[in-house]
Chains A and B, each alone.
Chain A
């Protein structure tokens, strides 16, 4: 028994090395590294744009519809605003800040796309874990309602929410939450159904634990990995959704520039200045692809055999 006790003491890594070990898993996968690079790049751009952009993003300083040149690297839009500056500033609302309605322009950190996913994750996980663990009638009712929600075309759902509540950052968050929650719930339910068969859940039941304890303290921590990877993908979908809404003109309200809206407005001059459509499209695509690659790579590494 002495052999066991000595190894017990020597093997306790500090928390710093543990965090590094967790991060190093990302760099094992080339896909995840590329994804992470793209995401970090856009976060960095967003942070920089808070303090500095080449020109003020909303100032009409230049001739309209300029092609790329030395002064305006990506050209100007139909109102003579610098596209590069607008693209940079557009990152903020998506990833870094949310504007609350009302007087005084109160701003809270973390962008609309991420809040939307946090919302769908919370609601979806609560419903899904409960449906999966309790089973029976609870499961039937919860999942039927969510399935009905999935059956609605997404765009129609967006339109309904926004038509009912008006434009605004919070409304977009709500729209993303409502459309995302059923998917998260399905995943959480299947995870819960798998995890609830494990012996440690039996052990908790024989201790007479309450249902909330079992779902959130015993099941949720073990469902965390797949849920987080899924959430990462969902941030990508949310950015897509915001782009779509912006393109339809019902997305994030002005004055902050919105990528989807930029595409929509540039579309009207597509024959005179086609590149103005391309830039924001590339922006949206690269961020979404980055998130997808990152999530895929991470999932692969997490599920792979570990030494």
Chain B
């Protein structure tokens, strides 16, 4: 640590941003998206920038490379790159710099690579154009670079097209391409957000390795506190277009100085916390719009420690004496996060005592959903070809008891959404049995009884598309009531207001249109609409994954309360394991259409567990740099669901396969290991071996 500080002071910063303000011209004026941003990055340092959506993280990155678009410009401040002022540079000078010295990696690798060019040609272009290397030399360098970003079989990859390699590999190619010219500064804008956790873990490992190996300054932008804890040495926290805190990664997580940073830490469930014993504290209020920022400290309307001075005077980013932390707060020294108490009007769920188990209301028995794939050959078109299927869900069996929550986790494409769609009837099952309180639920919704439709409702992922933009909140919530005739017509208004109140929204929302709502509010309305017919089973398809952490905490609290009040049973899909652990009573882990392990939430997160669960746990980014995780990385990518591996579907990637006495048994279906009555693992390893796995996460 000390050494790190010494080297910091010894070298000049690669990038120095001072009092940066960026404005966008819009209809009827301009918006200052970013103001008062200060930070510097030195060689070999990885500087994280975290913040919620819309706080200006990406705008800062674009300002550095001058990608602000036609209507954006740097209004004040300076950006110094290796001592050179970038603000005011002409396009041609900047273009040279961008190619040679500054490289950028974006969120979606598929959009960064040209789909119609071979990867080798795209990579070589960087060297032949900017450095004037010959084709042969360039090829040699590219292969070397691919090897350094841990691409298996680089010579072969050079000849492939982007769609022929997996998403994680694509991102590695993009990173490798960015490093080809040995840039002094590498800007990464959410490079792993579009990737699955296991893939993300591998890419994060790569970035951490690059930091050691190359002497590059890295600017790492993300909204995920767990990711930032893993890759960066210093972190800047942004809020509403301002840099509010700058400190080493250790200080940010252990001794956050700014009330906003402290609030963020209280919002996120730590892996291992559960709803029975811990509470998430959302930050009250919401981020102000850029044209409507408060006077004084920008955080003052949401701050628990607000005083008169905060409303009158804008604090400057200043060093806390005796530390390396900078904070934009008048009273930072006087705030002790340990003594923090939630203010009285903060909505918090009541912690529930363990209730006794009620009867199971949803029972699945080998439920199966296949999609037919249409081939392109003449035989297929004429209908003589062999029928092929995507085996989206295979042999799903579980029971869910009334009032409980079943969390379903798995990587994208593992069939969790299909499973939910089949249960609710958007798709009809192709095999197996499913019963909801005795009703058959294998048919699709058009063949279901009205009473059954009413009992199963759904909450969706994307707050922007969950509401019909043409109708007011009141109209949308009242529709299920009118449709199922659960409420007499003249009572509907009162009933809607009652539900709005349960969502902590006032009556004034009745006549609002969706475009007047924030993301969190839209999600509340989405939940309200699902609850309007008082269903017994609500299926939540990633209800919080598109939301910012402070909003996410509020929505999770709300769902907990709703469940308590209405005794609703929930099926909860999420890819964030800490959220699932926090929220669910039971967890099912899915891989390639099959349930690998199902059991009580607390049992899943410690041994005995399925090797896949183990790998998932090892991959989750944990927002706490002091925690150590055992390093297990999965090889290759998820196989195609059209042609899944026979036997145990996980065997092609299983890191524990070699520990089996006879690895060939993997080609047969894995037996069911019942650890307890509720905890089941589908694995060829026997219970003792499963028990002997050591814990993945130790703090």
- Which residues of A are in contact with B by a Cβ distance under 8 Å? 1-5, 8-9, 11-12, 28, 198-200, 202-203, 205-209, 218, 221-222, 224, 304-307
Q: Tell me, rounded to whole Å, the shortest Cβ–Cβ distance linking A8 to chain B.
A: 3
Which residues of chain B are near A305, meaning CB under 8 Å?
Answer: 26-27
A306 to B456, CA, bound (A): 37
B445 touches A307 (CB 8 A): no
Residues of A within 8 A of B457 (CB): 206-207
Q: By the criterion CB–CB under 8 Å, are B445 and A304 in contact? A: no
Docked complex Cα distance between A202 and B541 (Å): 12
What CA separation (Å) do A224 and B470 show in the bound complex? Answer: 10
Contact A1 B504 (CB under 8 A): yes
For the complex formed, measure the closest distance between the CB of A51 and the CB atoms of chain B, giving whole angstroms: 40
Cα A9 to Cα B346 with chains together (Å): 20
Q: Does B682 contact A (CB under 8 A)?
A: no
The answer to whether A9 and B506 touch across the interface, beta carbons within 8 angstroms, is yes
- In the bound complex, do residue A222 and residue B301 qualify as a contact, i.e. CB atoms below 8 Å apart? no
Tell me whether A222 and B26 are in contact in the complex, defined as CB-CB below 8 angstroms, given that A8-B512, A11-B516 are known contacts. no
Contact between chains at B467 and A206 (CB < 8 Å): no
- A208 and B448 contact, CB distance less than 8 A: yes
Residues of chain A contacted by B512 (CB below 8 angstroms): 8, 11
**B466-501 Cβ-contact flags toward A at 8 Å (1 or 0):** 111111000000011001100000000000000000
Q: Known: A1-B504, A9-B506. Is A206-B445 also a contact (CB below 8 A)?
A: yes
A-B contact pairs, 16 of them (CB 8 A): A1-B284, A3-B286, A5-B505, A8-B506, A199-B461, A199-B465, A199-B526, A203-B466, A205-B445, A206-B453, A206-B458, A207-B453, A207-B480, A221-B471, A222-B468, A305-B27
What's the Cα separation between A218 and B508 when bound, in Å? 24
Question: Could you tell me which B residues sit within 8 Å of A by CB distance?
Answer: 26-28, 31, 284-286, 291, 301, 345-347, 424-426, 445-446, 448, 450, 453, 456-458, 460-462, 465-471, 479-480, 483-484, 504-506, 508-509, 511-512, 516, 521, 526, 529-530, 533
Give the CA-CA distance A221 to B466 in the complex, in Å.
15
Give every chain A residue within 8 A of B506 (Cβ-Cβ).
Answer: 4-5, 8-9
Residues of B within 8 A of A218 (CB): 468
A8 to B505, Cβ gap below 8 A?
Answer: yes
CB <8 Å contact, B466 and A8: no
Q: How far is the CA of A4 from the CA of B509 in the complex (A)?
A: 10
Q: What residue of chain A has the Cβ atom nearest to residue B533's Cβ?
A: A207
CB <8 Å contact, A199 and B284: no
Q: Is the CB of A307 within 8 A of B470?
A: no
Chain A residues with CB under 8 A of B480 = 207
**Is the Cβ of B458 less than 8 Å from the Cβ of A202?**
yes
| Beta-carbon contact of A200 and B301 below 8 Å | no
If A202-B458, A207-B480, A208-B453 touch, whether A307 touches B285 (CB-CB below 8 Å) is no
Residues in A whose Cβ lies below 8 Å from that of B424: 206
The answer, among A9, A202, A208, for a CB contact under 8 Å with B460, is: A202
By a CB distance below 8 angstroms, the chain B residues around A9 are: 506, 508
A12: which B residues are within 8 A, CB to CB?
A: 508, 511
Task: Indicate if the CB atoms of B345 and A2 lie closer than 8 Å.
Answer: yes
CB pair A207 B508 closer than 8 Å:
no
A203 touches B285 (CB 8 A): no
Inside 8 A of B465's CB, which chain A residues have their CB? Answer: 198-200
Report the Cα distance A61→B316, complex, angstroms.
86
CA distance A2 to B284 in the complex (A): 9
Docked-complex contact A4 and B448, CB < 8 angstroms: no
Chain A residues near B483: list those with CB within 8 A: 207-209
Residues of A within 8 A of B345 (CB): 1-2
Complex formed: what's the CA distance from A208 to B425 in Å?
9
How many Å from the CB of B20 to the closest CB on chain A? 23
Pick the residue among A3, A28, A224 that contacts B27 (CB under 8 A). A28
Evaluate contact between B301 and A3: CB separation under 8 angstroms.
Answer: yes
Inter-chain contacts of A306 with B (CB < 8 A) = 27
Whether B347 and A199, one on each chain, are in contact in the complex, defined by CB atoms closer than 8 angstroms, is no
Within 8 Å by CB of B468, from A3, A208, A221, lies: A221
A49 to B633, CA, bound (A): 82
Chain B: CB-nearest residue to A1: B504
Is the beta-carbon distance between A222 and B291 smaller than 8 angstroms?
Answer: no
Contacts of B508 in A (CB 8 A): 5, 8-9, 12
A208 touches B445 (CB 8 A): yes
Complex CA–CA separation, A8 to B512 (angstroms): 9
CA distance A203 to B461 in the complex (A): 12
Q: Nearest chain A CB to B23's CB is how many angstroms away?
A: 13
CB-CB nearest in chain A for B511: A12
Residues of A within 8 A of B426 (CB): 202, 205-206
A254 to B: closest C-beta gap in Å: 45
Q: Please indicate the chain A residues that have their CB under 8 angstroms from the CB of B470 in the complex.
A: 221-222, 224
- The 10 A-B pairs at the shortest CB distance, nearest first, are namely A8-B508, A221-B470, A199-B460, A5-B506, A198-B465, A208-B453, A200-B468, A199-B465, A199-B466, A9-B508
Q: How far is the CA of A280 from the CA of B385 in the complex (A)?
A: 64
Question: Contacts A8-B505, A305-B26 given: A222-B469 contact, CB under 8 Å?
Answer: yes
A residues near B467, Cβ cutoff 8 Å: 200
Give Cα A132–Cα B511 distance, bound, in whole angstroms: 31
C-alpha spacing A304/B529, complex, angstroms: 30
Please report the C-alpha to C-alpha distance between residue A254 and residue B566 in the assembled complex, in whole angstroms. 72
Among residues of A, the one whose C-beta sits closest to the C-beta of B539 is A206
B229 to chain A, nearest CB (A): 30
For A301, give the chain B residue with the smallest CB separation. B27
Report the minimum CB–CB distance from B473 to chain A (whole Å): 10
Whole-angstrom distance between the Cβ of A18 and the nearest chain B Cβ? 10
Q: Using Cβ atoms and an 8 Å threshold, which residues of chain B touch A307?
A: 26-28, 31, 291
Residues of B within 8 A of A11 (CB): 512, 516
Alpha-carbon distance between A224 and B446 when the two chains are bound, in angstroms: 28
Of all chain A residues, the one with the shortest Cβ separation from B535 is A206
Contact B27 A207 (CB under 8 A): no
Task: Give 5 A-B pairs besides A8-B506, A199-B461, A307-B27 with Cβ atoms closer than 8 angstroms.
Answer: A5-B506, A200-B467, A208-B453, A221-B470, A222-B468
Q: How far is the CB of B279 from chain A (nearest CB, A)?
A: 16
Q: How far is the CA of A9 from the CA of B460 in the complex (A)?
A: 27
**B471 contacts which chain A residues (CB < 8 A)?**
221
A205–B479 Cα distance when bound, in Å, is: 13
Contacts of B509 in A (CB 8 A): 8
Interface centre among B301, B424, B470, B512 (most CB of A within 10 A): B470
Q: Pick from A2, A202, A203 the residue with the most CB of B within 10 Å.
A: A203
User: In the assembled complex, how far is the CB of residue A60 from the closest CB belonging to chain B, in whole angstroms?
Assistant: 55
Set of chain A residues within 8 Å of B27, measured between Cβ atoms: 28, 304-307
Task: Please give, as numbers and ranges, the residues of chain B lying within 8 Å of A203 by CB-CB distance.
Answer: 458, 460, 466, 526, 529-530
Query: Bound state CA distance, A152 and B251, in angstroms?
Result: 74
**In the docked arrangement, what's the CA distance between A208 and B450, Å?**
8
Which residues of A have CB within 8 Å of B284? 1, 3
A207 with B285: CB separation less than 8 A: no
Q: How far is the CA of A92 from the CA of B347 in the complex (A)?
A: 64
A263 nearest CB across to chain B (Å): 42
C-alpha spacing A305/B71, complex, angstroms: 11
Interchain CB contact under 8 A, B466 and A200: yes
Q: Are A207 and B466 in contact (CB under 8 A)?
A: no
A306, B483: Cα distance in complex, Å: 35
